[in-house]
């Protein structure tokens, strides 16, 4: 059930009100980067905490392979065997040194793609998953459109400078990474430090060590990412980091000091922002309406990264269906009876459906009053055609 205004003619409203006095803090006030383009994004909410030239189109080099990896993973063919073609074998640049005719699992190719940035692996993956290089490129651009990467265009699966019109932005690559990190297999591969793969043509195995030094050496909170470099794109880097259950994504394009850029962005955000639970999972207390009191809950909580002062910029509106006479028989009450909308500084940043029934005992039985300001309830009494 979608809760658009047109579809809810009978509502009662609960509004959580705050004063809008506190200034908005931004990590950009405390961070400087070497990169021409950069962004720091909260993984859960998508909030942009820091940005510079984040929507400017640029060459992206091998961070392209994040798209190649997620398409391979989503193909459902990770256990299948790939025969390396002559086209893949001859790919220039960073390589796994695969041999023509060699047989290797698609899963191992994805590990080699992400850890060692194998361009030969990228072509082999594209031919397997897309049926052809052109077919795979079409898939890349379709996925980019699906994710909302409005300023991106892909013309190859590896990011080499040998094709025109291959570009993206720091913001779009953060969107892609946010999407990919929801996939457990991708998150596992991107966060792997060393991978061993069977070599079908030799009596020794491949052993690939991750090139992402943030993950392997430099930053204890790093959980994954992808490096990149070409002569035209310069250094590009995507990384992810987690501290105190707060997950962040950093992207830099043309960043000569990218390792430190990422560390500095992360440290500023972890210091100044905390992931704040606004809508707690479980029973919604402080509801006065007799139909809903003690019977409504959230299945999932909603959290948002906030600085200390920004808590006063949060506003929550909850809209409920107006109870009907037939609801005297509780079997007629719909499962979803309303929706909560979260606003930050006047802009909607999230929402959660409100469910009718008994919240599971494992849910956190938390009152809004324990976390936020006083709750006010009013019944609008709008008629069905009103």
> Token pair for residue 250?
């950093």
Asked if residue 28 is part of any domain, the answer here is no
Q: What is the mean pLDDT of residues 74-94?
A: 95
Tell me the HSE value of 27 on the side-chain side, using a 13 A CA sphere: 32
Q: Quick check: is 319 in a domain?
A: yes
| Residue 274 designated active-site | no
Q: Which domain CATH number covers 340? A: 2.30.140.30
Question: In this structure, are 178 and 248 located in the same domain?
Answer: yes
Q: Let me know whether 15 and 47 are in one domain.
A: no
- The answer to whether 62 is a known catalytic residue is yes
Residue 328 bears catalytic tag: no
pLDDT of 44-67, one tens digit each?
999 999 999 999 999 999 999 999
52 and 96 belong to one structural domain = yes
262 lies in some domain: no
Do 181 and 249 contact (CB within 8 A), yes or no? yes
- Are residues 40 and 13 located together in one domain of the fold? no
Question: Which domain-ending residue is among 256, 291, 316?
Answer: 256
Q: Are residues 249 and 341 in the same domain?
A: no
- Same domain for 190 and 316, yes or no, is no
pLDDT digits (tens, 9 = 90+) for 141-156: 999 999 999 999 999 9
What tokens does 4 get?
């658009």
37, 45, 94, 117: which one is catalytic?
117
Structural domain for 236, as ranges: 34-256
Identify whether the C-beta of residue 121 lies closer than 8 Å to the C-beta of residue 96. Answer: yes
Residue 100 in any domain: the answer is yes
Give a yes or no: residue 261 inside a domain.
no
Q: pLDDT, tens digit, for every residue of 323-360?
A: 999 998 988 999 999 999 999 999 999 999 999 987 55
Q: How confident is the model at residue 386 (pLDDT cuts 50, 70, 90)?
A: very low
The mean pLDDT value for 78-98 works out to: 94
Same domain, 209 and 334: no
For residue 176, give the CATH number of its domain: 3.40.710.10
171 and 193 assigned to the same domain: yes
Active-site annotation holder among 37, 45, 65, 211: 65
Least confident of 51-55, 164-168, 197-201: 197-201
Question: Which residue out of 62, 126, 239, 303 is catalytically annotated?
Answer: 62
Same domain, 223 and 350: no
Determine contact, residues 342/316, Cβ cutoff 8 Å.
yes
Q: What is the mean pLDDT of the chain?
A: 87
Distance CA 125, CA 197 (A): 16
Domain count, the chain: 2
Residue identified by tokens 């204890």 is: 220
Note whether 204 and 242 are same-domain residues. Answer: yes
My answer on whether 327 and 185 are in the same domain is no
**Same domain, residue pair 65 and 195:** yes
User: pLDDT (tens digit, 9 = 90+) per residue, 218-249?
Assistant: 999 999 999 999 999 999 999 999 999 999 99
């Amino acid at each position: 059930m979608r809760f658009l205004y047109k579809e809810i003619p009978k509502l009662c409203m609960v509004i959580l009100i705050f004063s809008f006095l506190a200034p908005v803090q931004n990590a950009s006030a405390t961070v400087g980067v070497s990169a021409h383009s950069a962004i720091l994004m909260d993984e859960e909410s998508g909030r942009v905490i820091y940005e510079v030239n984040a929507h400017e189109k640029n060459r992206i080099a091998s961070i392209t392979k994040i798209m190649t990896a997620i398409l391979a993973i989503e193909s459902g063919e990770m256990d299948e065997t790939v025969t390396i073609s002559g086209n893949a074998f001859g790919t220039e640049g960073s390589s796994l040194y695969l041999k023509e005719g060699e047989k290797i699992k698609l899963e191992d190719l994805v590990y080699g793609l992400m850890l060692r940035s194998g361009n030969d692996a990228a072509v082999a993956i594209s031919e397997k998953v897309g049926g052809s290089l052109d077919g795979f490129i079409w898939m890349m651009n379709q996925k980019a459109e699906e994710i909302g990467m409005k300023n991106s265009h892909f013309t190859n699966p590896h990011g080499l400078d040998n094709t025109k019109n291959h570009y993206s932005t720091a913001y779009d690559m953060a969107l892609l990474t946010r999407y990919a990190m929801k996939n457990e297999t991708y998150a596992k591969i991107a966060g792997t430090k060393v991978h061993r793969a069977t070599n079908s043509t030799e009596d020794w195995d491949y052993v690939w060590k991750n090139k992402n030094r943030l993950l392997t050496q430099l930053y204890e909170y790093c959980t994954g990412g992808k490096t990149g470099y070409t002569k035209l794109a310069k250094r590009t880097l995507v990384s992810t980091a987690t501290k105190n259950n707060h997950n962040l994504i950093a992207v830099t394009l043309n960043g000569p000091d990218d390792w430190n850029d990422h560390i500095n962005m992360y440290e500023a955000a972890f210091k100044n922002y905390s992931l704040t639970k606004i809508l707690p999972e479980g029973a919604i207390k402080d509801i006065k309406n007799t139909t809903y009191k003690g019977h409504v809950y959230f299945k999932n909580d909603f959290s948002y990264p906030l600085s200390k002062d920004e808590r006063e910029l949060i506003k929550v509106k909850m809209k409920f269906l107006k109870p009907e006479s037939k609801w005297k028989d509780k079997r007629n009450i719909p499962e979803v009876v309303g929706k909560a909308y979260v606003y930050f500084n006047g802009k909607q940043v999230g929402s959660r459906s409100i469910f009718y029934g008994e919240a599971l005992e494992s849910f956190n039985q938390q009152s809004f009053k324990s976390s936020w300001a006083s709750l006010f309830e009013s019944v609008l009494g709008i008629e069905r055609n009103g």
